[in-house]
Structure 1
Amino acid sequence: MKNTVKAGIFGICIGDALGVPVEFRSREQLKRSPVTTMRSMGSHRQPAGTWSDDSSLTLCLTDSLCKGYDLEDMALKFLQWYNEEIWTPYGRVFDIGIATSQAIQRIGKGIVPTLCGGYSEFDNGNGSLMRILPLAFLS
């Protein structure tokens, strides 16, 4: 099981690093220039192999779950990533989605984690889907 968890987490980070340079590119652009290796620069002007907030927050979640399921601790890890830049590839946050940013700012204001998400249909991004794998391994 331990190797499966590691493989899943590594897979997230590798897939994310492959995608970072081509974020916001159209399907047509990607058909003309498919991603087959790690790339540098691109959308966020990062070196090849750089992961994004999606991997960083997955790593924060994994770190928290190593101590058990505790929403307050998870929220603290997310806040530490946002403010102290833990689990970043180069010691700084370079990208964050709007809904994620707003939720983490609410955490920073002391709002309980279960109430930090948005409430409108436009707050339903896919960030949580990209970060949920560690919960599948929780037993």
Structure 2
Amino acid sequence: MQAYQIENILYAGVVGDALGVPVEFDKRDSYYIDSMTTGTWEQPKGSWSDDTSFTLPLLENLTAGQSYDELMQKFVNYMFHNEYTPNGVAFGIGNTCAKALRNWSVNHYPALESGDKSVEANGNGALMRLAPLAIDLVNESNLDQRLQLEREYTSLTHRHPRSIVASYIYLEIIHSLLNGHSLLSTLDTLPNQLTKALENRPSELKELPYFEAMFQPGFATTLRKDIKSTGYVVDTLLASIWSVLNSTSIDGAVILAVNLGEDTDTIASITATLASCENLSDHINDEWKSQLQNKPLLDKFIKPFAKKETTKS
């Protein structure tokens, strides 16, 4: 991949996030979004949320080759000190992420044991920040090695096997797309690959059926009314995949996703990321990108990461 392609993928995720912020929690079909605006959080248009503010520290960490503890400190700096934010204000942090950061910073849990492992802690707060890891592992051919790292990075905030398996699916889809496979072919082969890889991890293996709808041949034809768009990690992943399958461009996928309602910022961000990985020759809408808040801060982390990944490959 070229540096500009990596930048396109990462910026698409930020744009999706910013488009979704103003209508987060709004009911489906109570609005229509196809441009930057203001709304739910009363932030300036083009403001991005915790999705991006958790992603930037990961970019920084991967670029510098730093530890999990150093990454957790960056997350803490975001939550408590408003770093990595578009306008100096942290907003919209999920309960599971906040609990994990308190576990690490206040209760002194080890980083990899800080995430909540309860079944109620299966929101999308890990999924939303992990795309850079898949880019970093694009040339790693060992599936077990990729899964180990995907498990660890997820566990910093979310340790229930369902959230971990969601990360596997999302990041392995990105890995496949960036290695030249289509989304449809990836969805066809991934279940068997994961089933085999997780034979000795029964607690994770038994979570795969929760995601089985997205692997069915007719999933793309699922009616919009039957697509859930909540912050539950299963709903988020299925809604994002459905949006990409039902679009022919990155912009089209994002518009479809952001108008599903409810957890609009994360679903639009993940959708934009996936659509960008499948359409490496395309790029997110220039006008939307130009309206992003605090672009110098975004460039500070996105450009060095893209440069490093290009040099590495």
1:1-139 counterparts in 2 under 5 A? Answer: 1-29=2-30, 33-40=31-38, 42-68=39-65, 70-109=67-106, 110-139=108-137
Letter of the structure 2 residue corresponding to residue 18 of structure 1: L
In the alignment, structure 1 segments of 5+ residues that lack a partner are: none
Q: Name the SS of the counterpart of 1:46 in structure 2.
A: coil
- The whole-number CA distance in structure 1 between the counterparts of 2:121 and 2:26 is 22
- How far has the Cα of 1:69 moved from its partner? 5.3
Q: Hey, what's the Cα distance between the residues in 2 that align with 1:127 and 1:103? A: 11
**Residue 70 of structure 1: how far off its partner (Å):** 2.1
Greater relative contact order structure (CA < 8 Å, 6+ sep): 2
| Aligned partner letter, 1:133 | A
RMSD: 1.3
Q: Tell me the CA shift for residue 21 of structure 1.
A: 0.4
Using the size of structure 2 for normalisation, the TM-score is: 0.42
| Unmatched 5+ stretches in structure 2 | 138-313
4+ residue segments displaced more than 6 Å: none
SS across alignment from 2:126: helix
Q: How many residues align?
A: 135
Aligned mates of 2:19, 2:89 — CA distance in 1: 19
Amino acid at match of 1:97: G
Counterparts of 1:2 and 1:111, CA distance in 2: 37
Bigger CA drift: 109-118 or 50-59? 109-118
Q: Distance in 2 between matches of 1:114 and 1:20?
A: 29
C-alpha deviation, 1:74, in angstroms: 1.2
